[in-house]
Structure 1
């Protein structure tokens, strides 16, 4: 009858929470004492209440008794189904106080807030890189483990993430869904579009610590740094000459192969480099830039 009357005579001495039955109070007290008498026989995880253990066992058994009437998705717990139903209702009652972005779940808002606070509580034990979400850390760990579960059916390339495989498949399909609003150029990946936009904005976030020259991409900065370090990783297999850029090595190899892809449209003379062809064209045009 206490359920109907609302009477809760049993009170927790630690936090003041009240209960209708003494056994409910006893179960609650395990939160404060840390006692977890119910253990999972599959993974050893322990719980304060037998009901929580029963819910947990569904992870191992695969039983998902709670089904969404909208899309048919199933869940192990009723609370997860309730949270999921907010997606269909469109209700986003959790709003960020910084940027006013709204979310359906409070957990999503909490994860989002780490963007503003720059809090990254999940750290990789291998390289100490930190992440805002545990799922991002789990994905990152595949880099260290070498596990690549996702394989391209076209060329056999393997990827650590399903998203990377999807992006890679666009190479084969030719799909470029990301378009620049300034010039209309399209890209297979959103990150490539973001990098490209720096051409229009003039943003060059990557600066050389030696000379102060700035670049739109980190890869261009890394290549530039070879000028200061003197590193020339690309070596000609014929004469042993070394180069800072792979493109310079490719151009140099034409000397040995005799390949001259640049042809003068006036007299038919061929050249190994486009710059040599351009200089030659001055003979026909009569342009003398150096007076």
Structure 2
């Protein structure tokens, strides 16, 4: 209990309990499935075009077929892979929502999140996660410091770190995308110049096959920029709620309502924003988690000082 009689948070303790760990495993499996569809899309828009460009420059008579294949790959991406990818994102977002509401003691909002995952679906996802050969630790998902403050404040701090963590990773991804786009463009132009092909042959053998990748890269780059921008008002609202709780200007019921609204925004972000490029999360995770812990510690210390 705090000095004013408020009950301290138990988020840090319960997140490692059996019930929450099962939901977290299900969450991670659903995102792993989404990553597989993402990899399928990357294979269509990156690996296949690179092979097509190489073949087109080596076998000039195959250029019309290669151009036709590039169009087919684009249509396959739009009609099948991209749609399946987005469906798995929404499924994963619902699993994430179930974990969060259980841990943060919020109600399920069906008008926003849709149908709640069934126990059977969760169990299948848990088995999928446990069957993975390689998996990272999922204990201490949220900062342990949040148990030093009341539940309403701890909940808001966790919601804020959800969004800031995501924005940090996406800013890095956007930089990587820009570098990748420039690098691939330079390679295409260099191959065309080295082959001494006519402009028409160059377009058929290099530009057309790489069109799916260029379209994907531009689309992905703008999606990441939009996601970071969309996160900004959510972070601002979370900080307003945190400051209101610290100042004692937010009764428990009002805090619960405002946190539920924040959770709706977090779900919408998860359900509609594409994933990071595979590997970026693992590369950036140690630094991102240190930043997350530092952010949580800052608000916890500020609350303790105010008390």
TM-score calculated relative to the size of structure 1: 0.17
Q: More relative contact order in 1 or in 2 (CA 8 Å, sep 6+)? A: 2
Name the TM-score, length of structure 2 as normaliser. Answer: 0.16
Which structure: greater helix fraction?
2
Which has more radius of gyration?
1
Which structure carries more strand by proportion? Answer: 1
